[in-house]
Structure 1
Amino acid sequence: MTLPLNPAFAATEAPPVMEARRWIAGKTFAPDRPLINVSQAAPVDSPPLPLRQALAEAALNDPQAHLYGPVLGLPDLRAEIATQFSAAYGGTIAADQVAITQGCNQAFCAIMSTLAGAGDEVILPTPWYFNHKMWFDMQGVTTVGLDTGDTLIPSATAAEALITEKTRAIVLVTPNNPGGVEYPAEVLAKFRDLCRARGLALIVDETYRDFDSRHSVELGGRPHDLFADPAWDDTLVQLYSFSKAYRLTGHRVGSIVASATRLAEVEKFLDTVAICPSQLGQMGALWGMQNLRQWVAGERDEILARRRAMTEGFAALEGWRLLGCGAYFAYVEHPFDMASDALCKRLVDDCAVLMLPGTMFQPDGSAAGKRQIRIAFANVDAAGIAELFRRLAAFRP
């Protein structure tokens, strides 16, 4: 007997990163030509030693590390985020406008659950982050793709033409996953104004904010001034992840910044699916925010150096075209007469390189997706990047 399956799940694609891992399952790679894995944008190194020591200290000596905590997160962490983000963005964020989640993906699912249900529509720029699309598919929410063209920068004017009576929100990711581009502040302001005028939520996922080339509190820079608007919480929702900047991927800590009224609805979701975020992970995130500012700045400098290496490498790689590059990602157009999903499988066997095809980030049948590839370069050092380009240059279909 076959147990029933929710039709919405049957219509949802399998996780792309897990699919790509199956392409290398059972394969071996020569010691002098190891696999270059640029498929996933997650740190592979452990947190810095002082943070690991703080986690160990909390695990050993703080009884609260092993108990349920507040559904919306530790008050001290919520307050720290409010204080630091207010300073970073030149605005005013209160502690009760911050919620902590089990990673940024849960933050997205939680906030979207309060905004859109089956039959509703949400506008998502393409290429999109596939987990966002997967959540909408599982919930019966219609994803309305907003084509960003060769610039990978969405247009508020184009988005307005897609709004219907079923539209509930517009989702933006900056720096972008998968495109790598940093959305200009004026673009975000136009989307804010559009959403406010049409009564929609503007979701801004800033998972990679710490690696934005414009974001440096020390230098007085900021990627946008949305929080400087005193009425920001009538429209704006910001999402963030501690996984990247502090290498806390396994601890699953993310955040939502939104109106306190909206977070009261989010609390219903979080209490149902997780009770509370990881206490130990939150303690690590708080310690990191309070003690690792300079270390994070060094991490940003390293990622920006790798970004430069990717930009220079593609400028010299014949036939390939770099569409966007920033944070952890380069998004490129390949020159070959084959679809990107077939090409990426070939690159595993012929070049020992694993990356994700644009077909995983575009609607089914997208001609653009068949020409595009995402390269997550954050875990590849300068020597590895140089080797990546040598292998790509030598590839012959």
Structure 2
Amino acid sequence: LLMASRLFTPWTTISSFTSIKVASASSWRKLSFITRVTASSSSRRRIDTSGIIHQQQQRRHRSTHSISKLTFAHLSIAIDCCKHHRHHNRSSRMSMSLYFSNNSQNCDAAAMESSSTSTAATSTTAAASTNAATSITPRPPIMPYVSSRTKATLDPCVILMKQLISQHANKWETKDTDDKHQGIYSLAQGVVYWRPPSSAYESLIHTVQQNIMSDNDANIDGNQGDGKLLHTYCPDEGYPPLLSALQHKLQKENGLSNPHVIVTSGANQAYVNCVVTLLDERRCGSNDASMNTNNDGTPGRGRSNNCIDKCVVFEPYYFNHVMAIQSVRGGRGCGGTAMADNDITKKASSKTTTPCTGMTTMLEEVEGLLVGPTIRGVPDLKWLKSKLEEYQYNDHDDSTNTTTMKNSIRMVTLVNPGNPTGISLPYHFLKEVVQLTKEYGVWLVVDNTYEHFDVERENRLPPVDIDSDDDDDDDANFPCFDEEHVINIFSFSKGYAMAGFRVGYIALSSKNGSNDGGGAGAGTVAYNEMLKVQDTIAICASRISQVAALGALQAGREWVYEQVKTLDVGRAAIRNAMSSLEDLIGGNGAMYIMGKLPTGVNDREFASSLVENYGVAVIPGSFCGLPGWIRVCYSNLLPEECCKAASRLERGIVELLRVST
């Protein structure tokens, strides 16, 4: 009513009758009200409501409908919608009749929505209109849906293990133990016990001081020098001084010449960037008959399967890689566990469900993911080659009447050194994978997060080519492959102990294309497209984190090596504690060792028992696609604490073996 009063001249005593007919989806409702406004000479106005009457219009078929109560929300919105139609009149009486067109339905709908949240106003109006009809019963709420892709995605095992630790924390905080440690030791999450180098903190302190002391943002260069604007965005690809330092590092330590670099919020975001950039939903037309036959003329797999882009990972896989593919590309499962001979049925009796979803599924049923086998943690190249051959197809372009050989496998993923296997892949093996993926036109994404932990890195160095003019690559500490179809991922989280800062980076080749007369190469094209993804997900990594990363690089690779050497004691203790298990892999690359449990033992139940009964946590292998195994990390505790945790782990394993036999 206050809004209604503003429609009229404030200095005159006005008796007004306003009739508003509102068009709604069901009927015309006539809302009549009488407002008397009396203004005194001192500009004070008194508003008196003489009555609010709801009338119901007869429908053609003589049916009646309940009329909702008129609330202040209805009135104010209706009048607000028609303000532009009003006419001011200084006479003692004013009459206004408005008929809304189709657009006015929006006003009525808005009023209805507002009335549902105006309980107090509705109650007040109802009291003033005791003879009003009962309001329309509100529609029952409908639960919104959650993405089926997300629901089918792996559960985050690290979070689950932390929750399990929390459940039993009180018990172990007060329990007397042989090692005099009150609490649960975690050998689960892959973190390191040391702190970032002092140079990282010094860089932060210096930069913060520069920002505090500056009284004018105009005096701070946001792209250069020490006086960075910490509170602003930096370029999507990264903070320029850090980019320059990373390119130098990649050239010197990894043998990559002038690569494109994108700084990300950790290596996990870097991998998500790759998945979103490289994988399509569907790429084939619906009438391509060539999809129904293989290259040798034998019956093909059919369009619905080959037209879906796929990513290859190898078991045991890094769970967050699989989660990224599931979340972005979907699929009914994670692909099960492929066998070295590609015969899933041989172990159907002991493993009838996928390790990630509990769903019975075959490898071919998965939409966006192929899980390949390994031989003691080393990917099976025979299997990979057979799949690259199987998923080839002829893509015909009607506009140019040309046919191009393409592959539904769009990218292959390797982690080196491995997570969860902890092994280091030999240089000659990596070179073979690079060549194989190049022949089939498939991206190779290599996650080098654990580059500093390759304790047998002398076996990783490429053979020295005495005829090569490029001496830089010969001195690389951790050589990577500078090919236009290879994407390398790195991280500050492990070696530099900066997991909480969330800084990773992607390196893409800047080489010219090999098939288009020297134009932009595949790496350059992918880099330009990936910036769209970067801008969508993060815009840029945290500027203050990038400042810290720049400072950490000043400590150098040798600083990291000194920290890694301290892991020898813990690694030996963990390996000894697990020595009674049937099989062990890892420990020579990343800071993980995997152990095989006795046949028939549920790895999740065993991991839960270790926490509850022995006060030590590990990761069940089923989260990595390898049921019946456990993953143990030996870097997240001080050496002396790691030895105590190893003692607890050994007692749990000994008891397990005793019970199982």
Question: TM-score normalised to the size of structure 2?
Answer: 0.55
C-alpha separation in 2, matches of 1:385 and 1:336: 27
Q: C-alpha distance in 1, partners of 2:547/2:640?
A: 35
Counting only pairs closer than 5 Å after superposition, residues 317-332 of structure 1 correspond to structure 2 as 317-325=579-587, 326-332=589-595
Structure-2 residue corresponding to 1:334: 597
- Is 1:379 the counterpart of 2:636 in the alignment? yes
Q: Is the 8 A contact 1:209 1:215 kept in 2?
A: no
Superposed displacement of residue 211, structure 1: 1.3
Q: Classify 1:295/1:21 alpha carbon distance in 2 versus 1 (closer, same or farther; 3 Å).
A: same
Q: In the superposition, relative to structure 1, how do residues 10 and 54 fare at CA in structure 2: closer, same or farther (>3 Å)? A: same
Q: Residue type of the partner of 1:161? A: S
Q: 1:226 and 2:451 equivalent?
A: no
Which whole-Å CA distance do the structure 2 matches of 1:251 and 1:224 have between them?
Answer: 26
Report the counterpart of residue 209 of structure 1 in structure 2: 451
Specify which of 82, 89, 92 is matched with residue 247 of structure 2. 82
Match of 2:158 in 1: 17
Q: 1:114 aligns with which of 277, 284, 288?
A: 277
Among 226, 243, 251, the residue aligned to 2:501: 251
- How many angstroms does 1:14 deviate by? 2.0
Residue 535 (structure 2) aligned to one of 245, 252, 271: 271
RMSD: 2.1
The residue number in structure 1 matching 2:192 is: 43
TM-score (normalizing by structure 1): 0.89
Query: Identity rate of aligned residues, in percent?
Result: 24
Change (3 A) 1:276 1:392: closer
Q: 2:372 aligns with which of 135, 139, 146?
A: 146
1:94 aligns with 2:252: no
Between 1:26-35 and 1:246-255, the stretch displaced more is 26-35
Deviations 1:73-130 (A, max 9, x none): 12222222221221223x34215x1111111101000112111133321110100011
| SS in structure 1 at match of 2:495 | coil
Report the Cα distance in structure 1 between the residues aligned to 2:570 and 2:481, rounded to whole angstroms: 29
Q: Which residue of 1 aligns with 2:320?
A: 131
Q: State the AA in 2 paired with 1:66.
A: H
Deviations 1:192-218 (A, max 9, x none): 00110000000000001011124489x
Distance 1:235 1:109, change over 3 A: same
Report if aligned partners of 2:200, 2:550 keep a CA contact under 8 Å in 1: no
1:366 maps to none
Does 2:557 match 1:293? yes
Q: Unaligned 5+ residue runs, structure 1?
A: 363-368
Does the aligned pair in 1 maintain the 2:149–2:327 contact within 8 Å? Answer: yes
- Structure 2 distance, partners of 1:92, 1:321, is 37
Distance 1:221 1:78 in 2: 19
Instruction: State the distance in 1 between where 2:279 and 2:253 align.
Output: 30
1:52-74 Cα distance to aligned partner (Å, 9 max, x none): 23212222323422210000012
Q: List runs of 5+ in structure 2 lacking aligned partners.
A: 1-141, 211-226, 282-307, 331-367, 392-406, 462-473, 509-522, 657-661
Q: CA deviation at 1:225?
A: 5.0
* Counterpart among 385, 400, 412 of residue 160 in structure 1: 385
**Number of aligned residues:** 380
The SS at the match of 2:251 is helix
1:280 aligns with one of 544, 568, 573: 544
| Residue 350 of structure 1 pairs with residue 606 of structure 2 | no
State which drifts further: 254-263 or 194-203: 254-263
Structure 1 residue matching 2:229: 3-state secondary structure: helix
Q: Secondary structure at the match of 2:379?
A: coil
318-327 vs 370-379, greater mean Cα deviation: 318-327
Quick check: 1:136–1:143 contact (8 Å CA) kept in 2? yes
- Which entry has the higher C-alpha Rg, 1 or 2? 2
SS at match of 1:25: helix
